Chains A and B, each alone.
Chain A
Amino acid sequence: MPDLLLDVKGLETTFKTPDGIVHAVNGVSFGLKEGETLGVVGESGCGKSVTMLSVLGLIPSPPGKVKEGTAHFFGRDLLKMTSAEIRQIRGAQIGMVFQDPMTSLNPVLTIGRQLEEPLVVHLGMTRAQARNRAAELLAMVGIPNAKDRLSDYPHQFSGGMRQRVMISMALACSPQLLIADEPTTALDVTIQAQITDLVKRLRSELGMAIIWITHDLGVVAGFAQRVIVMYGGFIIEDSIVNELYVNPTHPYTIGLLGSLPRVDASGHETLTSIEGSPPLLYEKPTHCPFAPRCKWAMERCWKENPPLETVAPDHRVACWVDVKTGRAR
């Protein structure tokens, strides 16, 4: 499909640790259209962040290594670019917002200085031009007295404010793609809502595509057009958003949805949890990575790792079991 903005195929990333090689991402493929919003969901440590960092070449190497795969952005493979070439993309055409706004800004540089950097580097602005634009950007993300606050340092901003700064920094050069790596996880609930609303507003104003990584399916529901669910470094379900919530098919997705409180719940439904914790994969699994925690697991699940198969239009899932009947698909 040539109309894809970002087309990732067969991405594999490993980390060398003292205990062995961890297979963090195991052959992940997904695509993203221009202006589309993709939610990436999964527990901590399931490979969501590593996937996106791999695409941008931001994996600390060593110990990390992108072993295989391609990631075409506007038809050019990001993974094959030289470091100078990918620097032209980072911050300019792909902006990134990270999880923890408290540590993601440099404590010894002013907000203004940090905001001006991408403007000077990518757009060739002079310091003075960049300063004016930086003030506009701060105002755009809803920071009052933007101009005066440019000379402030990060510690003079609250967590929510800092995340706004991060967002304005990621969008400084009007990128076609914004990757937001759990941007609201470290914030309290009211601020979370403000930040999601802000990104929604900016999306309608600027029209960029968004990859929104989170472990909260609730946040994604009202926001993304498509959701992929990751587990153990694999994509295990990939669906347009309505279909996923109406018809979740993978046991893990069902588990995740079961752990969400619902406004439309009748009476006293208890929230369910998924027993156990996600695996650290020292070897590439030959069976379904979720099998050890799956209550539907059959013999075949322990022998073969299921591939992604289409179960409905725009809905693919990697599971041997048809959960509705409890039998093999």
Chain B
Amino acid sequence: MTTYIIRRLLWLIPVLLTVSAVTFVVMRSAPGGPWDTDAERRQVDAATAKSLAAYYGLDKPMWRQFYAYVIGDTNSQTKEWVCGVICGNLGPSYRQRGRTVQDILFAPPEGKTFWQSRFGYSIRLGVLALSMAIFIGIPLGIIAALRQNTLVDYTALFIATSGISVPSFVLAIFLIIIFASRLHWIDIVVDDWTQFKYWLMPMAVLGFGTLAFTARLTRSSMLEVMRQDYVRTARAKGLAERVVIFIHMLKNALIPVITILGPALAGLVTGSFIIETMFSFPGMGRAYVQAIGQRDYSMIMGTTLIYAMLVAVANLSVDIIYVFIDPRIRLGE
């Protein structure tokens, strides 16, 4: 299994390389550049733009820029070798002067812990949303399946269907209108994210879709397993219903649910762009959206790579969890 994990991690290299190449090309094909500003604001004059481009190496040919980003290049002024992404250097931000991308994403504000960094905020929100999806979605699915075609089942199905069909940004606006504008339970613009109550809404909105999907999948998977011969065998042995459900059915029913948790995490990641922006959440997703608007090339690249890595690691974890839950699966054979 260790060999398998190492091999999978090595596979990350070509994957990330491809992701960065595609992002690089798409990003550069989009009109505009990092020095463009709003029409009303003071414009960057042509000479300044030129020297900025020269400073950041944007005047070089495209392939050279990509090479410089990934491997490294000599600095045009100091003539020093600057290592690229392979050394973990995500490059300087084009819009936040004097800060590197890794600094913006991972360094916490003065005197705070790592969890207060943009990355830390996003991870915490993601974990909360995923836990909500798992710890509410799975039990909901189980109960619905056990009480099939009763009011409980229909209620669960209704929640699940609405969770899948209502887009998160619509739900976000609804919740903001109800709880912030009308009931005044929370502030519309939050500046103190240390209070847990403010986390509830972004967490709920971000996790709701995944919760719904998990519940539906758990339900159908349980219904499938309930009909299996081995469940009848378990009953024929005279086992208590509780044992039949939790030992004989659940482990089998959860196999497909675990399969989707990897992609579900990817869904949470993409969802977080919108949700973080809507709730002015100080995380990575909002930084990403801002970076795209500002054509902050190195920020876009850096954030994309981190997201890609997150998804890849999530999928790898799912594959490893698989081995423990389903004995028929062997890794790396």
Interface residue ranges, A against B (CB under 8 Å): 56, 58, 60, 83, 86-92, 95-96, 98, 100, 103-110, 117-118, 121-122, 153, 155, 166, 169-170
Contacts and interface: CB of A to CB of B under 8 A. Distances in A.
Nearest to A100: B229
B233 A90 contact: no
B241 interface: yes
Of listed B238, B241, B243, residue having the most chain A CB within 10 A: B238
B232 interface: yes
Interface of B: 227-230, 232-241, 243, 247-248, 251-252, 255, 325-328
Contacts of A86: 238
B238 A92 contact: yes
18 contacts: A90-B238, A91-B236, A92-B238, A96-B233, A96-B236, A98-B232, A98-B233, A100-B229, A103-B228, A103-B229, A104-B230, A106-B248, A107-B230, A108-B252, A117-B234, A117-B237, A155-B327, A169-B237
B234 A87 contact: no
A108 B325 contact: yes
A75 to B, nearest CB: 19
Contact of B233 (A87, A88, A108, A166): A166
Nearest to B327: A153
If over half of B's interface residues share one DSSP class (helix, strand or loop), that class is named, otherwise mixed; here it is helix
A288 B181 CA distance: 75
B256 to A, nearest CB: 13
Given A106-B248, A107-B328, A108-B252, A118 B233 contact: no
Nearest to A179: B236
Given A98-B229, A100-B229, A155-B327, A108 B251 contact: yes
B237 A153 contact: no
A92 B236 CA distance: 9
Given A98-B232, A117-B237, A155 B328 contact: yes
B247 to A, nearest CB: 7
B240 A105 contact: no
B246 to A, nearest CB: 12
A117 B234 CA distance: 9
